[in-house]
């Protein structure tokens, strides 16, 4: 429902509403004008009918006085020339009350009629016919308002068509005006805000010429906000990069300290325990010798774990032999510890990348394999690394249960629903100008890293 509402154009809605109100006002005005014009035309028709009956009364006076029936019919037919006259009949004042009448047939042709026509729906007017001061008959004229109403109806229909045409033109004009001066600038601001919301810098700033009034104020406020936000994001990125750098330095120091200090101490302990075991063989009982052997075994195991922890904190192979060798060493150890078979597709061991790129990619593999072991339930995993002049592509895939779509959406929108580890790895890759994306389905998940080829350093020989 929300997406459907977003697809509706505000400019179109406003234009339609304004035009609808205008159309309603014009329609009401047209109806009012129609009623007013109808009343005026009916009054005019009534007046014309009165004039016609007056003229007929005068014209019929002499023929009626002379009992000239042919002339009477001729005068009556001449009065029927107006199409608004439906019927004329003359009732003589003689003994038999004879009638001379003309009416209309269905084709509206003049025909003789013998009886007084019905007056329903007609305008009627009558006058007495006077000859030598005597009433010799009565003439009646019946006029129909049908043609007047038909003309008014046609005129009203034409008005309505004109209104519809004007409305359509107004809709187009208002829509274009609203689009140019309101909706288009708002869409530009919306696009810029969406770019900022997606984690970008806001893209290219909208042209100031497209804004005016309150929208110009809004544009300036948004530009200031984006500038401030970008400055704070830059500061956060610098701080995050510095924190990661410090973490890496601390890991390297801790790994070196564990190997050089604690590891050497444990090695010395093993040596002393070995000496103690040899010295005690002649005079110590079996229980004492067994305890010494157990201590030697525990010291050896502790030394091995310390050495492994030291290498995991910062593997020396990463500095000495490069990323491919470090990944092979790490994948081999991971398979032994987790019983997850890892398939590798890596470039030649001698191909080197800048130190920060190798370290970032190694940390991504570490975090991804750890998550596979903890969450996916997969028995296999694969690591594919491709290095070209254009880009670096790293893919870590598994055949596990996958990740929910809600968690993926939140992660790609900048959240950390998949844990701070992957969020930190994404931050590392973004520092390199790359991107980290996750694809997931019921068949498993793929962590995909892309970094620009410009991150490639000059080739270095392994061990140098």
Q: What is the pLDDT of residues 423-446, one digit of tens each?
A: 777 777 887 788 888 888 878 888
Closest CA to 167 of 21, 29, 30, 10: 21
What letter does residue 209 receive in the DSSP assignment? G
- The pLDDT of residue 4 is 44
Whether 171 and 16 have beta carbons less than 8 Å apart is answered as: yes
Residue 202's pLDDT band, with cuts at 50, 70 and 90, is low
SS3 for 88? strand
Q: What is the pLDDT of residues 25-75, one digit of tens each?
A: 877 887 888 888 888 888 998 999 899 989 988 988 888 888 888 898 899
Residue 287 domain-assigned (yes or no): no
Of 49 and 461, the structure prediction assigns the larger pLDDT to 49
Residue 179 domain-assigned (yes or no): no
Residue 198 domain-assigned (yes or no): no
Last residue of a domain, one of 109, 134, 151: 151
- The pLDDT of residue 462 is 41
Whether 80 and 144 have beta carbons less than 8 Å apart is answered as: no
Residue 399 domain-assigned (yes or no): yes
Residue 232 domain-assigned (yes or no): no
Residue 88 domain-assigned (yes or no): yes
Q: How far is CA 237 from CA 101, 242, 420, in A?
A: 106, 8, 15
Last residue of a domain, one of 103, 132, 151: 151
Burial of 387 (0-12, 13-18, 19+ CB in 10 A): buried
- The sheet with strand 380-387 has its strands ordered as 341-345, 380-387, 391-398, 444-452, 435-441
Per the structure block, which two tokens stand in for 338?
Answer: 């987790």
Distance of CA 418 to the CA centre of its chain: 27
Whether 323 and 331 have beta carbons less than 8 Å apart is answered as: no
Last residue of a domain, one of 151, 181, 212: 151
What letter does residue 186 receive in the DSSP assignment? H
CATH of the domain at 68: 3.30.450.20
Whether 418 and 407 have beta carbons less than 8 Å apart is answered as: yes
Q: What is the pLDDT of residues 67-108, one digit of tens each?
A: 888 898 899 888 888 888 999 988 887 756 678 888 888 898
CATH of the domain at 450: 3.30.565.10
Taking the C-alpha atoms of residue 124 and residue 135, their distance in angstroms, rounded to an integer, is: 20
Q: What is the pTM of this model?
A: 0.49
Number of domains in the chain: 2
| Boundaries of domain holding 64 | 10-151
Closest CA to 335 of 382, 271, 273: 382
Residue 247 domain-assigned (yes or no): no
Looking at 16-122, which runs of residues are DSSP E strands?
85-92, 99-104, 110-113
pLDDT higher than 60, residue 454:
no
Closest CA to 425 of 370, 384, 385: 370
Residue 450 domain-assigned (yes or no): yes
């Amino acid at each position: 429902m929300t997406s459907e509402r977003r697809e509706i154009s505000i400019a179109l809605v406003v234009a339609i509403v304004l035009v609808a109100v205008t159309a309603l006002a014009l329609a009401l005005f047209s109806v009012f004008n129609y009623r007013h014009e109808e009343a005026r035309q009916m009054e005019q028709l009534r007046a014309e009918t009165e004039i016609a009956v007056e003229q007929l009364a005068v014209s019929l006076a002499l023929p009626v006085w002379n009992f000239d029936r042919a002339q009477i019919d001729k005068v009556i037919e001449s009065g029927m020339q107006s199409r608004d006259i439906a019927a004329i009949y003359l009732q003589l004042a003689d003994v038999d009350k004879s009638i001379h009448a003309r009416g209309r047939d269905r084709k509206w042709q003049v025909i003789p009629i013998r009886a007084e026509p019905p007056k329903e729906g007609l305008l009627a007017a009558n006058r007495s016919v006077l000859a030598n001061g005597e009433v010799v008959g009565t003439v009646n004229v019946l006029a129909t308002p049908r043609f007047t109403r038909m003309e008014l109806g046609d005129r009203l229909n034409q008005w309505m068509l004109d209104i519809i045409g004007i409305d359509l033109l107004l809709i187009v004009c208002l829509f274009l005006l609203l689009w140019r001066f309101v909706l288009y600038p708002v869409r530009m601001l919306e696009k810029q805000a969406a770019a900022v919301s997606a984690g970008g810098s806001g893209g290219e700033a909208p042209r100031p010429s497209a804004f005016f009034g309150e929208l110009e104020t809004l544009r300036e406020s948004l530009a200031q906000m984006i500038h401030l936000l970008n400055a704070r994001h830059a500061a956060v990125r610098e701080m995050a990069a510095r924190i990661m750098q410090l973490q890496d330095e601390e890991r390297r120091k801790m790994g070196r300290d564990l190997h050089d200090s604690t590891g050497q101490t444990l090695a010395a302990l093993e040596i002393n325990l070995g000496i103690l075991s040899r010295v005690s063989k002649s005079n110590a009982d079996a229980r004492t010798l067994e305890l010494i052997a157990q201590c030697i075994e525990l010291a050896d195991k502790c030394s091995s774990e310390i050495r492994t922890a030291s290498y995991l904190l910062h593997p020396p192979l990463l500095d000495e032999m490069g990323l491919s060798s470090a990944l092979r060493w790490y994948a081999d150890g991971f398979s032994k510890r987790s019983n997850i078979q890892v398939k590798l597709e890596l470039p030649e061991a001698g191909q080197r990348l800048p130190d920060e790129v190798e370290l970032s990619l190694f940390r991504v593999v570490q975090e991804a394999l750890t998550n596979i072991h903890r969450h996916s339930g997969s028995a296999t995993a694969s690591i594919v690394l491709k290095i070209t002049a254009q880009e670096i592509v790293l893919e870590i895939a598994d055949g596990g249960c996958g990740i929910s779509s809600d968690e993926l959406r939140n992660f790609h929108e900048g959240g950390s629903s998949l844990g701070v580890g992957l969020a930190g790895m994404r931050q590392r890759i973004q520092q390199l100008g790359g991107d980290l994306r996750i694809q997931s389905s019921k068949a498993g998940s793929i962590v995909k890293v892309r970094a620009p080829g410009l991150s490639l350093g000059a080739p270095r020989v392994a061990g140098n």
